[in-house]
Amino acid sequence: MAKSMFEAVAVIGAGTMGNGIAQTFATYGAKVLLVDLSEDALKKGVLAIEGSLARVVKKGVITDADAKATLARITTNSKLEAITNVPLVVEAVSERPDVKAKVFSQLDRQCPPATILATNTSSISITQIAASTKRADRVIGMHFMNPVPVMKLVEVIRGQETSDETTAKIIAASESIEKVPVAANDFPGFVSNRVLMPMINEAIFCLMEGVATKEGIDTVMKLGMAHPMGPLALADLIGLDVCLDILEVLHQGLGDDKYRPCPLLRRYVAAGNLGKKSGKGFYDYSKA
């Protein structure tokens, strides 16, 4: 098994992306400190990691002992102050610029100068996040895909001031955990969400206009275009609130109405139907 280039990593945010990132680094031998202000989120995050590792054990990819050793490498803490001496921090807190700015400014004050501060943001400007620190050259986007343990891609996004050295390190670190990094520049939605979200949005317009049923739309894309899952099911997996936030960033940041979020997406989010995580989105997960 390959070994993580960074032997110790702190991951902030124990939600879907954060716990997947923590699991992935720990799988490749890194000691991981998983931080979330909510004890409840930490408990749920660790449960999710246990469940995900159990799937991999069941497949025979790793042994039960490997899974236990991976779990043992992950410690949790509910205070940001607990992050002191790690070479890499990956932030995966909620997609709110004010929250990210606060976290990065505190990390900048308490972490050693050499620590790289990476963000898993799906669309917030890396340059803007870096501006809340005094180390913009060591701030970078490390955008993992959901589900993190399965998806090979890491989009590596350089902010305006990100150095070549930081970029090279994060590319090498991604390869060391057997991901495939792709470098991108700091524009709204980067590459992944700039291409993905208009497709999801258009699928929601199709549903709203009655072009086909939700199952019909998803089947067209699965069987017609060989996508592993249809765009509506994928939106449920990502989170409809996350999709809406990203579309708003694209719409505002690029100033083009082709990115306007579909009113039906707004209605689902307003109703609290956020997809898999809330038990209901375009599909019903309450019995799963």
Q: What is the strand order of the sheet 31-35 is part of?
A: 74-77, 31-35, 8-12, 88-91, 116-119, 139-144, 153-158, 180-185
Query: Of the residues 193, 201, 251, 278, which is catalytic?
Result: 193
Do the beta carbons of residue 7 and residue 30 sit within 8 Å? yes
Write down the least CB distance from residue 55 to ligand 3HC, Å.
Answer: 4
Query: Which residue's CB comes closest to ligand 3HC?
Result: 122
Nearer to ligand 3HC, 76 or 192 (CB): 192
Nearer to ligand 3HC, 12 or 242 (CB): 242
C-alpha torsion sign, points 98, 103, 108, 109? positive
Write down the least CB distance from residue 155 to ligand 3HC, Å.
Answer: 8
Query: Of the residues 52, 143, 192, 251, which is catalytic?
Result: 143
Query: Of the residues 52, 120, 155, 251, which is catalytic?
Result: 155
Write down the least CB distance from residue 165 to ligand 3HC, Å.
Answer: 26
Nearer to ligand 3HC, 149 or 253 (CB): 149
CA dist 117 and 223 (Å) reads 41
Catalytic-residue membership of 155: yes
- Which of 28, 253, 21, 41 has its CA nearest to residue 142? 21
141 CB-side CA count, 13 A: 32
Nearer to ligand 3HC, 70 or 193 (CB): 193
- Which of 9, 1, 196, 190 has its CA nearest to residue 88? 9
DSSP β-ladder status, 153-158 and 139-144: antiparallel
Write down the least CB distance from residue 21 to ligand 3HC, Å.
Answer: 12
Write down the least CB distance from residue 208 to ligand 3HC, Å.
Answer: 21
Q: Return the residue matching tokens 């620190």.
A: 133
Query: Of the residues 120, 122, 123, 174, which is catalytic?
Result: 122
Write down the least CB distance from residue 36 to ligand 3HC, Å.
Answer: 18
Catalytic-residue membership of 161: no
Q: Which two tokens stand for residue 78?
A: 């509910």
Nearer to ligand 3HC, 163 or 273 (CB): 273
Residues that bind ligand 3HC (CB under 6 A): 52, 55-56, 59, 122, 145-147, 149-151, 192-193, 196, 228-229, 234, 238, 242
Element of type H or E holding 222: helix 214-225
CA dist 263 and 240 (Å) reads 12
Nearer to ligand 3HC, 163 or 254 (CB): 254
179 CB-side CA count, 13 A: 30
Catalytic-residue membership of 122: yes
Catalytic-residue membership of 251: no
Q: Which residues are marked as active site?
A: 122, 143, 155, 193
